[in-house]
Structure 1
Amino acid sequence: MKKLLLATIMSATFLAAAPVQAEDYVIDTDGAHAFVQFKVSHLGYSWLLGRFNDFEGTFSYDEANPSAAKVNVTIDVASLDSNHAERDKHLRSADFFNVGKYPQAKFESTSYTANGDGTGVLKGNFTLHGTTKPISIDVTEIGAGQDPWGGFRRGFEGAVTITPADFGMDYDLGPASETVEIYLSIEGIRK
């Protein structure tokens, strides 16, 4: 009995002392709990909003070491949806996204700097229209915990402003439309 008690105590001690590892998540696009949306000025008079309906990705996160976070996302650019079929057709054309030649956009993180208050800056390489550039996404952790189906989820939101001309998309819509805001709402299911 003493040996069993000693073994139990030693096992608990080793488990408690074991380093916490990053948890891996798959972005929940099947359940539509993740979004990649965009907003661009329409001639300076209003906002044009849209989204990409098809994308996939993964991320890893360690609460004890947030700087080790990693994110990979691939977007099917042809899934662009601005709620107007003719406009979407034009946006998919060679004038803008040229989805026949550049069917995917990708983001791969290179670093994450936590601010210590649930926010941080995620840096990485963004590939769009065949051009890869570094970008910085301002990130806020939304929360984490058990879901009703026996899984564990973690969610973040982020925003970044890009200049399409930096990615070779130079169709002139006037100075009010030179930049595009991208908003991400990401909920991951722990693997």
Structure 2
Amino acid sequence: MKINTIQGCALAALFTISPVYAADYIIDTEGSHASIEFKTGHLGTSWLKGRFNDFEGTFSYDADNPAASSVNVEVDVSSIDSNHAERDKHLRGEKYLNTDEFTKASFKSTSFTPAENGGVMKGMLTLYGTTQEISIEVEKVGEGTDPWGGYRAGFSGTTAIKPKDFGMTYNLGPAAETVYLELNIEGIRK
């Protein structure tokens, strides 16, 4: 089939004006360039801090259309690490996270409302077998080429959840009613 000059120009114009879609990224957990950390009050006198060591996920991001951003993360809840083996054993037990029954937690975004250098990501958090909508305050850390020829983008986020909203009924006192989460993700563009 022979394409004349007018058809060629029309095809070129079509490809030029086609919308640009968000880039897809894999969260870089292999290089330990991502983290999910938490803290909660302990007896009203200090903070109990920890992290989840095993998780994976993806996100989509387009700097020209940040409202189209999305994220999907799955966490191995038994990878909880508070830097104290005996406490971690208790946290995995039936009174707390019950990781034998509820092995995974997940977050799937439903919307992103951009603001200057960040915004608010809303989505559904599934934890302890219960799904609730949460909001995460997001800050863009940066993006650009890495030394290995890839392209990366990174974000941090914070949110607070109440374990009782997810069906956890063990009472640790008023200081532990809220768990604060700090999320740091660096993604490698696919």
Same fold (TM over 0.5): yes
Alignment of 1:6-155 (within 5 A): 15-115=15-115, 117-155=116-154
Return the alpha-carbon distance in structure 2 between the equivalents of residues 104 and 120 of structure 1.
27
Moved over 4 A (4+): 6-16
Return the alpha-carbon distance in structure 2 between the equivalents of residues 114 and 184 of structure 1.
17
Return the alpha-carbon distance in structure 2 between the equivalents of residues 23 and 39 of structure 1.
32
SS at 1:90 equivalent: helix
TM-score w.r.t. structure 1 length?
0.92
Q: Which amino acid aligns with 2:184?
A: S
Return the alpha-carbon distance in structure 1 between the equivalents of residues 38 and 51 of structure 2.
6
Q: Which amino acid aligns with 1:107?
A: F
Match of 2:166 in 1: 167
Q: Which amino acid aligns with 2:62?
A: D
Unpaired segments of 5 or more residues in structure 1?
Answer: 1-5
Unpaired segments of 5 or more residues in structure 2?
Answer: 1-5
Return the alpha-carbon distance in structure 2 between the equivalents of residues 181 and 149 of structure 1.
35
Return the alpha-carbon distance in structure 1 between the equivalents of residues 186 and 7 of structure 2.
40
SS at 1:156 equivalent: strand
Deviation by residue 1:136-186 (Cα, 9 ceiling, x = unmatched): 000000000000011000000000000001111121111111000000000
Deviation by residue 1:60-84 (Cα, 9 ceiling, x = unmatched): 0111211111110000000000000
Q: Which amino acid aligns with 1:49?
A: K
Percentage of identical aligned residues? 57
TM-fit CA distance, 1:99:
0.2
CA RMSD of the aligned region, Å? 1.8
Deviation by residue 1:43-71 (Cα, 9 ceiling, x = unmatched): 11000110000000000011121111111
TM-score w.r.t. structure 2 length?
0.92
Return the alpha-carbon distance in structure 2 between the equivalents of residues 109 and 84 of structure 1.
32
TM-fit CA distance, 1:17:
2.9
TM-fit CA distance, 1:11:
7.7
SS at 2:88 equivalent: helix
Return the alpha-carbon distance in structure 2 between the equivalents of residues 50 and 8 of structure 1.
59
Return the alpha-carbon distance in structure 2 between the equivalents of residues 18 and 143 of structure 1.
26
TM-fit CA distance, 1:8:
9.8
Between 11-20 and 70-79, report the one with greater CA deviation: 11-20
SS at 1:72 equivalent: strand
